[in-house]
Chains A and B, each alone.
Chain A
Amino acid sequence: MSIFNNAALLIGVPLLFAFSIPLFGLISKQLTKWVTLFVIGFNATFSLYILLAHKYPAVVVMGNWVPPFGENLYIGPVAAFLVSVISIIGLLIAIYNLWAIKLGDVTRFSVLFLMFTAGASGIVLTGDIFNLFIFMEITGISSYALAAYGPRRRALGGAFKFLVVSSIGSTLYLLGVTLIYTQLGTLNIAEIAARINQTTPGLLTFAGILLISGLAVEAELFPFNGWVPDTYTGAVSGVSASLSGIAAISGVYALFRIAMTVLGRDGAYVFTYGKLDLMTVIAILATTTVIIGELSALSQKNVKKMLAYSSMAQMGLVAVGFSIGSKLGVYGGIFQLVNHSIAKSMLFLIIGVLAAAGLGEKVENFRGLWRRSPFLSLAFTIGAFSMLGFPLFAGFWSKFAIVGASIQRGGWYDFVIGLVLFASIVEAFYYLRIVTYIFSSTEVKAPKIKVSLSPAIPIFVLAVAIIAIGVYPNFIGNFSMQSAGEFTHKMTGYVLNVIPTIVAH
């Protein structure tokens, strides 16, 4: 058990270094970035070890208090998988940051970035709804600050909007947690999940609504996602990449951990909300999000903003997958979540490199990019095609699974998926518009764009990952499948692993 007790290191090490980075900053500002890199590198190695050596499921107990009495971390298939993804993408973004973050307060940026990664990992790992709140706050606060980084004024505006909406979300979530605690007297996810039926139905409904609304902010579901476009557009590209690549994972995870494990029931979907079940509500929100996101992106001339809207829509698609509730649907949701993180963070990184080369963010500025930088053009095309779910690219398989699950579910999900597919046509249009601009050349001779090594590595790795997953989906697919089991079978998949003795009520 010793190594698993150390799984707390995944949170502890980054936090520890986050607070000690100012010390390194005294030596050299550049050093702090390398420290960040190595710490996240450690995280990535360690989480990959857990994942690949199959050291899960395992409960990590804090101070010998066995759950449900103490605080605990739970490393199930979901946690192991998502932490690995978070850490690896974090690592790649850290590599990119070596090159991108030069101006301003580099030290503070490093601190925040480490805190951000630690918080996101914490959300995924924790087994306690209050700790979930704390980690959400850590992630949240560090991401407002990160979003505000940079010379641009609009970064501040975006960060402020994020702050406002996110605070509302946190408050709602905390209220929900309080309600649950007054009812059950426990904060442990596993125990609440097992005893959820002991609560007063009306209060539970209210608490559920509060929790879901609060978490929908980070999961970018409409109408709680107002912050998305401005924040993504305002932030520097590395931060946008981390928001879409890391924060989105933890946000979606938190939402569905609460909605499916805590408030859910095995077999049946989730607890009822009036006559509807909660999953229906989430499905409606998710579908609305997809449509609003795609349609808003359609007429967008600013590529970064377009990507932000697209992020929103993709999160909606992920939520559609989860909301189906069948194993296949959740599988598709997780798979799509990971694919989206990979592709979208890569796209943002590319935008960052292009911005540094003096290319504007307008769609027209992409005209003739193929002549100027074949590498970035290909990478962008790969990312866009993955977003669209074209075969040979990662997105194909996850979209395939989500559509499959929806139609398998049948009923009004046929309608949902019809709308989603319509929105996908819109998506195809605006992504392809950029791709066609990239490959249509201009008459004016423009200089070549030089990509230095440190941004090139993450972009290259992510692009290769997209194609690798697209050609051989089994690898990620297996992890997604195990993870899906944890969500869909809450007792055997989660609760009994944490507290083996508990009896469901």
Chain B
Amino acid sequence: MNSNLIWLVALPLIGSAVAAIVVRYKFLDRLITFLTFATTLFVLFSVHVGQSYSWGLNFLGTTLNLTLNVSHLSIFMLYISIAFGTVLTFYSLIDHSRMKGFLLLLILAANNWIFMSNDMVGFFFAWELMGWASVVSVLGGREREKSRHAALYYMIMSVSGSYSMFFGIFTLWRLTGTFSISANIAYLSSIVGIHPWWVLGIVSLFFVTFMIKAGIFPFHTWVPLAYAYSPDAFTPFLSAVMSKYGIYGMLLFMPLSLMERGFPSAFGGVPWTNYIFVWIGVITAVLGTVLAIFQDDVKKLFAYSSLSNLGYVVAAIALFTPVGITAGIFHAFNHLLFKGTLFITLLAVISRSGTSKLSEMGGLWKKMPITFFTFFVGIASAAGIPPFNGFGSKWLIYQAMIKQHLPFATILLFLASTGAFMYLFKAFHSIFLGQLSHDYDRVKEVSAVGKITEFFLMFAMTFFGVQPGYILKPIGAIVKSMGLKPLPVMANGYVTGMFSNIYVPLISWSLAVSFTLGFILFFVSAKHKYVSQENNYTAGQIPEDWGLTPETYQFSWNFYQPVEKLFAPFFRIKIDGFFRGTGDWTKTIGSAIKEIFVGNAQMYAFFAIVGLIIFVIAGWMA
């Protein structure tokens, strides 16, 4: 019995209640949120792997044991989610968007519970709690009406997913009579050889939920809406932390695929169920990338980018090899860090400029240099450029895929990566580079709290990029706990794959030396002078002749128009249309059924009598 575990759930709940009372005073709300996050992080230091806590709930006629259990995976997820939450809430102290701190704390409670729960009742409870709290959090973005629609859409997807899991939980319960997650997974793996289809059916009930939450194809349609129209301060959490719940759930069930005797292998020794999943991940990655390239709303762009990165994660963990799992979890961490950072910098930019349209921004680097550098490091990470943190995991993912001899999936992932570079640069250019519009002449850099956060995030991205061992070691423990052989971690700087090793500090040193040389060369060569932004080469014309303004001289509309032409045939397929069609169809049937209640007493009497007669006749016949 380790009662410190229960505090991880109870503290945020208490904090949430307190924050809800003072929700009128935004700063107090945010302050309590931040303090609760920090305290929870502090409590987390006392939590170790192997601790467990359970309490009885007198329910369903028996005493249900709600169990919290700290595994290697859970403690890893707990650390990264709470730590990021602390940073975010620290930043949100100076933020003015309509994020409600107490809802974030409710999500934190659910977050901790989900990651620790070893019983499906608690898991479901926390899952649903997280679901509705996040839906309500999505309400209140800058564009009210759109945010309302997004919340509704997200809600329906989320609820559908939960009910699917609901069904799965009780099906398992019917079979085993227990709600314990570990016992049920053990049961499933014991029968997977005998009844593979059964196991597949039950597990897919869960996986639908996880895929919806992580936004994996074909359930990705809510992601851009919810990300784009949620309050700006909530989006980082949504993207960085909440998308990982689905990944966590998948990882819980992944050890099942060890039982290869259940399913014949597809290519490369991957069971074909996993093989399909690898492709789902790859499709998600490519789809997210391609769609991201054409977005004008920057939050939508990064929403699709999240989608794409989670596709990478899914593809990697679906392999269920040591490298694959390591790479997947590593990438999940890296995505949390860099995407969280990117959304936090976007929060800064949007709060200063008041718009999230790429075509309305530009040239902000002169006004917000620290945010600019943070964003730069963020996109460098996201593009997988060494020595920043996104590199190691992307590199490992390729290793994992090639190890299983899946060249086509790897090629597509590589395409997604190159595409990622395109949309990242588009966002980078349209926000920070190019011409600064005169509308933004009075834009200021974020205040001190924001600067501290940004420096910290830059440091973190570089640190974990150069010293990936600090993350790879705990991941190794996770891999070991799943019954696989972990990758060797030679030193903190090494990333070891199957095909080759890289030693990131070496890259950093080489970069450091070469940059020094570059700077020396730059400063020993002839002097330069700075000119104004309108002072450009215009083929002999004088800008005044053209009536040149910064807006007209900023290239940010139809950025990748040739690519758009290239992909035009694919845009006709609309997954979203399918869901909306189902919705409309339901609505139509609903209106038709409503006509039963015609509002006429005779008709109702008639119904009752007809019902009775049908009863009687049916009784006669049967």
Q: Which listed segment binds B: A35-43, A225-233, A245-253?
A: A225-233
A209 and B619 in contact, given A229-B597, A295-B594 (Cβ under 8 angstroms): yes
Q: How far is the CA of A397 from the CA of B59 in the complex (A)?
A: 9
Tally chain A residues at the interface, Cβ within 8 Å. 79
Query: Which residues of A (404-454) have their CB < 8 Å from a CB of B?
Result: 404, 406-408, 410, 417-418, 421-422, 424-426, 428-429, 432-433, 435-437, 439-441
CB proximity of A133 to chain B, nearest CB, Å: 17
What chain B residues lie within 8 Å of A381 (beta carbons)?
A: 136
Task: State which of A165, A169, A224, A426 has its C-beta within 8 Å of the C-beta of B586.
Answer: A426
What chain A residues lie within 8 Å of B132 (beta carbons)?
A: 385, 390-391
CB proximity of A412 to chain B, nearest CB, Å: 14
B604 beta carbon closer than 8 Å to chain A: yes
What chain A residues lie within 8 Å of B129 (beta carbons)?
A: 390-392
Q: Is the CB of B156 within 8 A of A429?
A: yes
A477 and B58 in contact, given A292-B593, A295-B594, A436-B151 (Cβ under 8 angstroms): yes
Q: Is the CB of A481 within 8 A of B144?
A: no
Task: State which of B144, B155, B583, B619 has its C-beta within 8 Å of the C-beta of A428.
Answer: B155
What chain B residues lie within 8 Å of A295 (beta carbons)?
A: 586, 589-590, 593-594
Closest B residue, CB atoms, query A278: B619
B543 beta carbon closer than 8 Å to chain A: no
Q: Which listed segment binds A: B165-173, B532-540, B552-560?
A: B165-173
CB proximity of B134 to chain A, nearest CB, Å: 12
Contact pattern, A 361-387, Cβ under 8 Å of B = 1, otherwise 0: 000000000000000000001000100
Query: Which residues of B (591-616) have their CB < 8 Å from a CB of A?
Result: 591, 593-594, 596-597, 599-605, 607-612, 615-616
Query: Which residues of A (200-256) have their CB < 8 Å from a CB of B?
Result: 205-206, 209-210, 212-213, 217, 222-224, 226-230
What chain B residues lie within 8 Å of A274 (beta carbons)?
A: 618-622
What chain B residues lie within 8 Å of A331 (beta carbons)?
A: 60-61
A474 and B596 in contact, given A223-B607, A429-B152, A429-B156 (Cβ under 8 angstroms): no
Q: Is the CB of A440 within 8 A of B147?
A: yes
A226 and B607 in contact, given A209-B616, A275-B622, A292-B596 (Cβ under 8 angstroms): yes
A355 beta carbon closer than 8 Å to chain B: no
A460 beta carbon closer than 8 Å to chain B: no
Q: How far is the CA of A381 from the CA of B128 in the complex (A)?
A: 16
B527 beta carbon closer than 8 Å to chain A: no
Closest A residue, CB atoms, query B23: A374
Q: Is the CB of A473 within 8 A of B59?
A: yes
CB proximity of B65 to chain A, nearest CB, Å: 14
What chain B residues lie within 8 Å of A389 (beta carbons)?
A: 128
Q: Which listed segment binds B: A52-60, A82-90, A114-122, A296-304?
A: A296-304
Main secondary structure of the interface of B (DSSP, over half): helix
What chain A residues lie within 8 Å of B259 (beta carbons)?
A: none
B181 beta carbon closer than 8 Å to chain A: no
B3 beta carbon closer than 8 Å to chain A: no
Contact pattern, B 106-145, Cβ under 8 Å of A = 1, otherwise 0: 1000000000000001001110110110011001100011
Contact pattern, A 251-286, Cβ under 8 Å of B = 1, otherwise 0: 000000000000000000000011110000100000
Q: Is the CB of B174 within 8 A of A439?
A: no
CB proximity of B516 to chain A, nearest CB, Å: 55
Q: How far is the CA of A205 from the CA of B621 in the complex (A)?
A: 13
Query: Which residues of A (11-29) have their CB < 8 Å from a CB of B?
Result: none
Closest A residue, CB atoms, query B597: A229
CB proximity of A380 to chain B, nearest CB, Å: 13
CB proximity of B468 to chain A, nearest CB, Å: 38
Q: How far is the CA of A415 from the CA of B37 in the complex (A)?
A: 43
A410 and B174 in contact, given A440-B148, A474-B57 (Cβ under 8 angstroms): yes
Q: How far is the CA of A389 from the CA of B622 in the complex (A)?
A: 37
Task: State which of B136, B163, B166, B615 has its C-beta within 8 Å of the C-beta of A213.
Answer: B615
Q: Is the CB of B148 within 8 A of A436?
A: yes
CB proximity of A442 to chain B, nearest CB, Å: 8
A160 beta carbon closer than 8 Å to chain B: yes
What chain B residues lie within 8 Å of A484 (beta carbons)?
A: 61
What chain A residues lie within 8 Å of B603 (beta carbons)?
A: 226
Contact pattern, A 457-479, Cβ under 8 Å of B = 1, otherwise 0: 00000000000000001100110
Q: Is the CB of A226 within 8 A of B147?
A: no
A226 and B597 in contact, given A161-B604, A425-B160 (Cβ under 8 angstroms): yes
Q: Is the CB of A165 within 8 A of B605?
A: yes
Q: How far is the CA of A60 from the CA of B121 in the complex (A)?
A: 41
Task: State which of B61, B106, B156, B166 has its C-beta within 8 Å of the C-beta of A328.
Answer: B61
Closest A residue, CB atoms, query B139: A439
In addition to A217-B608, A400-B166, A477-B58, 10 A-B residue pairs with Cβ atoms within 8 Å of each other are A222-B611, A226-B604, A230-B597, A296-B594, A391-B128, A403-B170, A429-B152, A429-B155, A435-B136, A474-B57
Sampled A-B contacts (8; CB under 8 Å): A172-B612, A213-B612, A227-B604, A425-B160, A425-B163, A436-B152, A440-B145, A473-B57
Residues of A near any B CB (own CB < 8 A): 157, 160-161, 164-165, 168-169, 172, 205-206, 209-210, 212-213, 217, 222-224, 226-230, 273-276, 281, 292, 294-300, 327-328, 331, 381, 385, 388-392, 396-397, 400-401, 403-404, 406-408, 410, 417-418, 421-422, 424-426, 428-429, 432-433, 435-437, 439-441, 473-474, 477-478, 481, 484
